Amino acid sequence: MQVRGEHSPVSTIYDVAARAGVSIATVSHVVNGHGSIRQSTRDRVMHAVRELHFVPNNAARGLSSGSKKVIGLVFARVPSEWTTCSSSEEGTLLFTDSVIRGAELAAQRDGYSLLLHSTGGAKAASAVAALTGATDGLILTDRVLPERRVTPFARYFPIVLLAGSGRSRTSVTVRVDNRLGMHMMAEHLVVKHGLRRLAFLSGAAGSPDSDARADAFRRTAEALGATVEPGEWWRGDWSSAGAAVTVQRRLRLGAPLPEAIACANDSSAIGAQYALSAAGIQVPSEVAVTGFDNIPLARHLTPGLTTVHQPIQQLGVVAVEALLAKVSGAQTHARDIVLPTRLVVRASCGCSSDALAGLARWRSDDAMLVEEAS
């Protein structure tokens, strides 16, 4: 029924009670700070606790209290058995990690632990179901489960969606304002730089984030009289390697290059820029390149990467807060929480040092940040 390993001397509340000459109820009280306990009793108990290295067993605690104090964060992974990181995962590394840090921080603040699980494909549904029994609530990131398949879970279990379409009728969704970000980017390229022939290098196929960014970019660009090359030519996978390959393939096509390539994320932008440079094409004088995310490295690239800033860590924080609200029974209605994005102008779009210096540092009316080219 139970196997004790090498590291057995785990003590229970009974051991402590016996050692201190009190009942387990008393031990529970002093350990959890409930009720009022005579100081001498408390001391005896705490002494025993230390002597025996007593730590409450979370499983028992969870079983008794009905709350495991654990929430799960599920992210997508290509459904494979590989031990190595696929290139498409590389591109989402920074994103995922920032989310994790934010989530862990917020969870810890409320006394919860964070359980991590990656899944995808056919096994995703059963994996999510299993997690349902191990946690008090789940955060499902983009692409782990089609939104219609999360509904059944969300009906009887607290679930928050991270980066979905925002159209879920059963769950809270937390995401960033992709549309506004790419709208500002397109406007900047077309209006500010007068570029007319554009391209959007996408992220992984089927990603709502990538789709939203592509759509917003195209709409704004076309509304302003610019053209955007067909998406089939510009399929990426969030990674710098994937973007480099895509750009190289496009180069071999021979057709005149677009004047600007807006990438779905910063990693892709780095790969795109690399492929262009390797082919002897100057960025940004011949082709402008932009990103999305504003990873810390972005400002230290050459040229500095013009991109859209999104508060990734905050995304994790907000998702956890929304989830914990659900867990405690409040706020159970479906909501769409959208975090702001802002344009960060550096040099890769073609803004020169002079031009940057000429602009106001902050233009809060359209949430644009202009960095000095130091």
Partner DNA sequence: TTGTATGCGTTATCAG
Partner DNA sequence: CTGATAACGCATACAA
Task: Draw the binding track, 251-280, toward DNA (x: CB under 7 A; -: no contact).
Answer: ------------------------------
* Residue number with CB closer to DNA (4 or 148): 4
In the set 60, 191, 205, 278, which binds DNA (CB under 7 A)? Answer: 60
Number of residues that bind DNA (CB under 7 A): 35
Alpha carbon of 271 to those of 113, 127, 247, 312: distances in Å? Answer: 36, 34, 8, 21
Residue spans of alpha helices (H) in 75-173:
87-109, 124-132, 147-156
**Chosen from DNA, a copy of itself, none, partner binding at 89 (C-beta under 5 to 8 Å by type):** a copy of itself
The DSSP letter of residue 288 is E
Task: Draw the binding track, 79-108, toward a copy of itself (x: CB under 8 A; -: no contact).
Answer: ----xxx-x-xx--xx-xxx-xxx-xx--x
Q: What residues from 106 to 135 belong to the interface with DNA (CB under 7 A)?
A: 133
Amino acid at residue number 38? R
Q: Residues with Cβ < 8 Å from 16, sequence gap 6 or more?
A: 24, 27, 45, 48, 49, 52, 54
In the set 5, 7, 33, 36, which binds DNA (CB under 7 A)? Answer: 36
Interface with a copy of itself, residue 63, by CB under 8 A: yes
Omega before residue 284 within 30° of 0, cis: yes
Q: How many CA atoms lie within 13 A of 258 on its CB side?
A: 29
- Contact range with DNA by CB under 7 A, out of 7-15, 190-198, 249-257, 338-346: 7-15
In the set 1, 122, 253, 330, which binds DNA (CB under 7 A)? Answer: 1
* Residue number with CB closer to DNA (68 or 326): 68
**Chosen from a copy of itself, DNA, none, partner binding at 24 (C-beta under 5 to 8 Å by type):** DNA
Interface with a copy of itself, residue 282, by CB under 8 A: no
Q: Confirm if 341 and 265 have CB atoms less than 8 A apart.
A: no
Looking only at Cα atoms, what is the longest distance across the chain? 86
Number of residues that bind a copy of itself (CB under 8 A): 85
Q: What residues from 20 to 49 belong to the interface with a copy of itself (CB under 8 A)?
A: none
In the set 35, 51, 134, 167, which binds a copy of itself (CB under 8 A)? Answer: 134
Interface with DNA, residue 57, by CB under 7 A: yes
Interface with a copy of itself, residue 317, by CB under 8 A: yes
Q: Confirm if 223 and 198 have CB atoms less than 8 A apart.
A: no
**Burial class, 242, CB count within 10 angstroms (exposed 0-12 / middle 13-18 / buried 19+):** buried
Distance CA 214, CA 268 (A): 14
Q: What residues from 215 to 244 belong to the interface with DNA (CB under 7 A)?
A: none
The string of DSSP letters for 158-184 reads -EEEESS-S--SSSEEEEE-HHHHHHH
Q: Would you tell me which residues interact with DNA (CB under 7 A)?
A: 1-2, 10, 12-14, 21-26, 28-29, 31-32, 34-38, 40-42, 54-57, 60-61, 63-66, 133
